[in-house]
Structure 1
């Protein structure tokens, strides 16, 4: 508990960058990390169960190969090869944390091919496809090596003892809830053990035009997991109104450029390319 209190000044600053389309960037997850994510059951919406065993593996020193990465998906023949190409391009990049400039270009080109074949997204007709919990498998912003992605932020490394686990987006089209869920491990000085937490950044969302989603931040809740899972969740207080940046009031827009029952591709307000799979 002492280590969790010690980190209280670090968590709000690091999580503040997650309130918009741009997720923050952390060092890659250690193989010893163990995280738990709980998510609500959605009413009245049923989706087919898709095998994502290869994709759902925790990120560690080794990742599934290109072939195993896409093995659980069933694609329409007309776009199957393009999806496989995209999944192959982002496989092994630790969600973009270790991506080189060449990797970024390859992923962007593969995404553009799918976007061209899929055509414009119309969320008014395909809103039900947003429903569910989506797992982030790639973000071009993570290659910047800062906690802000393509936004300003502290560099990754040893300056902040925070290790990134899995990142999810949980979308409920009935209640208009849009939650960014981030699994973290907070380091602590020896002999204290690291603290494992799940941070949920709660938003509401609305559709702007045919394919743009606007999210409006509501609150951040941090819940300890692992050996400290019995502790109650903690709501991270917001900065007073007079200290909040005038350019970011907790909302953000991003475009959904491709969407089906398996994969979602989005592009953010600062050019972030992000790829999600249903989980």
Structure 2
């Protein structure tokens, strides 16, 4: 797994892509392509045993996510993606901190369904902003379970206007690493938590 080690080395210190310059992104992109060529998992959308779980974001090119780290008085913490294939759900959970006692969590819930051996459709249907203390946030898995409830406590439900077809390809999957490519051209590298 030399290519996997090379990719992990290339993204180390990039703060999920927030610190990546043009040269870094090019080198990481090449390392991703080399690792994708060695994907050990055929038909990843059919591998619930590998896909299910809580994944922590290591690197992305998604401006939607990277822009979360640009707000004044906010520090972007960990970002997770919780995949629940049995219920066809995906939860993106971003932890943010800033002023004392005002740690927050931003989350998006989506319905997913396989479109092919590599691709799932992604239909966003709920977006939440909340203070961690107000909703008794403990971890992304607990929060994903709470998101299925209509009332999770004092939180702001932000309307989702998502009429376009979004999809996510899983281009590399093993026991602890996943690479995805999204419909908006973004790349995601995640490790199983």
TM-score w.r.t. length of structure 2: 0.80
Distance 1:88-1:234 versus aligned 2 partners, 3 A rule: same
* Conservation of the 8 A alpha-carbon contact between 2:135 and 2:155: no
- The structural deviation recorded for 1:128 is 2.5
1:121·1:258 contact (CA, 8 Å) conserved in 2? Answer: no
Task: Specify the alignment match of 2:78 in structure 1.
Answer: 166
Structure 2 residue aligned with 1:212, among 119, 135, 138?
119
In the alignment, which residue of structure 2 is the partner of 1:181? 93
Asked if structure 2 preserves the Cα contact closer than 8 Å seen for 1:203 and 1:218, the reply is: yes
Aligned to 1:118: 39
The partner residue of 1:249 within 133, 146, 163 is 163
Q: Which runs of 5+ in 1 are unaligned?
A: 1-79, 143-147, 188-192
Q: Which runs of 4+ in 1 moved over 4 A?
A: 228-231
More strand by share: 2
After TM superposition, give the deviation of residue 270 of structure 1 in Å.
2.8
Shift of residue 121, structure 1, vs aligned partner: 4.3
2:153 aligned with 1:232: yes
Q: Does 2:128 correspond to 1:221? A: yes
Measured after TM superposition, the shift of residue 176 of structure 1 is 1.0
2:20 partner SS: coil
- 1:44-94, CA deviations, whole angstroms, 9 ceiling, x for partnerless residues? xxxxxxxxxxxxxxxxxxxxxxxxxxxxxxxxxxxx111110100000000
**Partner of residue 85, structure 1:** 6
By how many angstroms is 1:124 displaced? 4.7
Q: 1:275 to 1:214 in 2, by over 3 A?
A: same
- Whether the 8 Å CA contact 2:82–2:92 is kept in 1: the answer is yes
Q: TM-score, normalised by structure 1?
A: 0.57
Give distance in 1, aligned partners of 2:96 and 2:71: 15
Q: Which runs of 5+ in 2 are unaligned?
A: 137-151
Contact 2:40–2:173 (8 Å) recurs in 1: no
Residue 139 of structure 1: aligned partner: 60
CA shift digits 1:16-58 (9 cap, x unpaired): xxxxxxxxxxxxxxxxxxxxxxxxxxxxxxxxxxxxxxxxxxx
- Does the 8 Å CA contact 2:41/2:173 hold for their aligned counterparts? no
Distance 2:75 2:164 in 1: 24
Q: Could you tell me how far apart the structure 2 residues matched to 1:185 and 1:220 are? A: 18
State the shift of 1:221 in Å.
2.8
**Which residue of structure 2 lines up, in the alignment, with residue 267 of structure 1?**
181
1:102 aligns with 2:16: no
The Cα of 1:177 is off from its aligned counterpart by 1.3
Between Structure 1 and Structure 2, how many residues are aligned?
Answer: 178
Task: Assess, with a 3 A threshold, how the Cα gap between structure 1 residues 222 and 251 changes in structure 2: closer, same or farther.
Answer: farther
CA apart distance, 1:119: 6.7
CA contact (8 A) 1:121 1:256 kept: no
Post-superposition Cα deviations, 1:196-220, rounded to whole Å, max 9, x if no partner, equal 1122211110011111121111212
User: How far did 1:138 drift?
Assistant: 0.2
Alpha carbons 1:128, 1:173 under 8 Å: kept: no
